Amino acid sequence: MRLDFDNTLEVLENEPLSKHSSFKIGGEARYAIFPKSKDELISAIETVTRNNAKLAIVGNGSNLLFDDDGFDGAIIFTKSMSSTEYVHSASGTFIRAECGKSLTELASEAGKKHSLAGLEFAYGIPGTLGGAVYMNAGAYGGQMSDVVIETEYFDPSNNEIKVIDKKEHDFSYRHSVFEDHPEYVILSTLLELKEGNAEEIFAAMSKNMSARKEKQPLEYPNAGSTFKRPGGNLFAGKLIEDSGLKGYTVGGAQVSEKHAGFIINRGGATCRDVLAVIEHTKNTVLEKFGVELECEVIYIPR
């Protein structure tokens, strides 16, 4: 497959995906594209769809598991699209940011520089704004649906840019309309924050970050919580721990000893290793507790 992209686009061929995954796992992408603007992103998508090639959109790769065989198509990385605009108006204080904006950077900038509260929960989530809206990322009692007002996205099926309001996001726990329509590409999102006190905001963010460092296996490559919370009072990590699976290892992949809700790459883990740990964990928890765990980590290609 040979694709001829607009020659102003940054395109890498046969790019190792392990370099773009927080798990540090994955074979090569035939094409890796790094658009710097909405127009570049849309031009890249049009080239891929015109040629009926496979396409995936990746933010910071912090919730993904790339296959060992890589991706025989084009992956668009949004990280270089991060322009951010602050709007103070009579109706409130808003931020419009492009999809590739780092969530932690956005939270920090909003809180420390602009004294805006509302994104304290997001500080320390290692994704982009687009990735966070896609799965309604959340932590420490907050989630994206608390602050999102509208999202602008590109629909490749009819080459249209559309805008949806909060309700149309169909947000629920770790879910948005974008999960049901993986072909939609988030371009930018408008958030509403509240005027606050920079010191208090910074203190809340520091507290969340300390809790992360204490509880999560940040010393090893990982992709965050492997499974969604099963609902009710159940926690995936607790069920996995109570199944005696802490430390369960296949090749380089292991159920973290520090937090059973995470799978870590102890060195040289392959996608196959991780999938084997996931499979064994799901089967064991189902057998012991009758609970079916659902993966939060997304496998690419799907």
Ligand X SMILES: Cc1cc2nc3c(=O)[nH]c(=O)nc-3n(C[C@H](O)[C@H](O)[C@H](O)COP(=O)(O)OP(=O)(O)OC[C@H]3O[C@@H](n4cnc5c(N)ncnc54)[C@H](O)[C@@H]3O)c2cc1C
Smaller CB distance to ligand X: residue 60 or 115? 60
Tell me which residues are annotated as active site.
174, 225, 296
Interface contacts to ligand X, rule CB under 6 A? 22, 57-64, 78, 99, 125-128, 130-132, 134-135, 137-139, 178, 185-186, 216, 218, 222-224, 298
Residue 293 CA to residue 290 CA, distance in Å, equals 10
C-alpha dist (Å) from residue 2 to 6, 48, 95, 97: 13, 10, 39, 33
Nearest approach in angstroms of CB 201 to ligand X is 18
Nearest approach in angstroms of CB 216 to ligand X is 6
Smaller CB distance to ligand X: residue 23 or 94? 23
Annotate 253-271 with three-state secondary structure.
Answer: EEECCCCCCEEEECCCCCH
Smaller CB distance to ligand X: residue 115 or 129? 129
Residue 18 CA to residue 269 CA, distance in Å, equals 11
DSSP H or E segment with residue 242: helix 236-242
Smaller CB distance to ligand X: residue 63 or 108? 63
Nearest approach in angstroms of CB 4 to ligand X is 24
The greatest distance separating any two alpha carbons of the chain, rounded to the nearest whole angstrom, comes to 57
Residues 6+ apart with CB under 8 A from 28: 14, 15, 16, 17, 70, 71
Q: Pick from 253, 219, 259: which is nearest to 238 by CA?
A: 259
Nearest approach in angstroms of CB 268 to ligand X is 18
